[in-house]
């Protein structure tokens, strides 16, 4: 009686890899986001791949490599305003479309990411 995870339902490892690639391609070009992200997003993409794998029910790669997620705490060094949150979510929505995540998983994933993104806001615009 084991229910399938979102991770398995969307195609597992290769889908998460394609998603983070499609996401950071947009982050790296977004004028609201580039000021706070590193110029080279290679490492950022790997950390996000670890995180999203476990976030959607796959292997606990983030915990294995970086320890407890503590996402809000890890974001405190960066000024995350409501407009940056919206920019982040816009990049993610477009990435979910690009890799053609099917319903109901697309909506489930975007809702979870939206809740987490709202929690990350730590300053005003
Ligand atoms: C790291 C920005 C939301 C997951 C970072 C970094 C920045 C950033 C600037 C540092 C990059 C680096 O260390 O290479 C933002 C902004 C957000 C946001 C503007 C808007 C709300 C989120 C959300 C998630 C997330 C919703 C998860 C669903 C991560 C992860 C890391 C990270 C896993 C790497 C943390 C580490 O291992 O040190 N983010 N982030 N972020 N972010 Fe976000």
3-state secondary structure 54-114: HHCCCCCHHHHHHCCCCHHHHHCCCCCCHHHHHHHHHHHHHHHHHCCCCCCHHHHHHHHHH
Q: How far is the CA of 81 from the centre of ligand 1 (A)?
A: 13
Residue 96 belongs to some domain of the structure = yes
Q: How far is the CA of 86 from the centre of ligand 1 (A)?
A: 13
Residue 85 belongs to some domain of the structure = yes
Ligand 1 mutation target, pool 113, 120, 122, most atoms within 8 A of CB: 120
* Run means of pLDDT, 10 residues per run, the chain, 125 residues: 88 98 98 98 98 98 98 98 98 98 98 98 97
Q: What is the pLDDT of residue 3?
A: 80
Cis peptide bond upstream of 101, omega within 30: no
Measured over the CA atoms of residue 39, residue 42, residue 46 and residue 52, the dihedral's sign is positive
Structural domain boundaries enclosing 40: 8-120
Q: How far is the CA of 4 from the centre of ligand 1 (A)?
A: 27
pTM: 0.97
* CA-closest candidate to residue 91, choices 47, 42, 48: 48
ipTM reported for the complex, 2 dp:
0.94
Report how many domains make up the chain.
Answer: 1
Residue 94 belongs to some domain of the structure = yes
Q: What is the pLDDT of residue 2?
A: 67
Residue 14 belongs to some domain of the structure = yes
Say yes or no: CB of residue 80 within 6 Å of ligand 1.
yes
CATH number for 16: 1.10.490.10
Which atom of ligand 1 lies at the shortest distance from residue 66's CA?
37
Is 75 among the annotated ligand-binding positions? no
Residue 72 belongs to some domain of the structure = yes
């Amino acid at each position: 009686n084991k229910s399938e995870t979102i991770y398995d339902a969307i195609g597992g490892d290769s889908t998460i890899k394609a998603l983070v690639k499609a996401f950071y391609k947009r982050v790296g070009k977004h004028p609201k986001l580039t000021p706070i992200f590193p110029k080279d997003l290679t490492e950022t993409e790997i950390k996000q791949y670890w995180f999203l794998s476990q976030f959607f029910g796959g292997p606990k790669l983030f915990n294995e490599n970086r320890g407890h997620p503590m996402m809000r705490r890890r974001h405190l060094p960066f000024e995350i305003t409501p407009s940056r949150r919206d920019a982040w979510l816009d990049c993610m929505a477009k990435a979910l479309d690009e890799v053609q995540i099917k319903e109901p998983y697309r909506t489930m994933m975007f809702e979870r990411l939206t809740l987490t993104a709202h929690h990350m806001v730590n300053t005003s615009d």
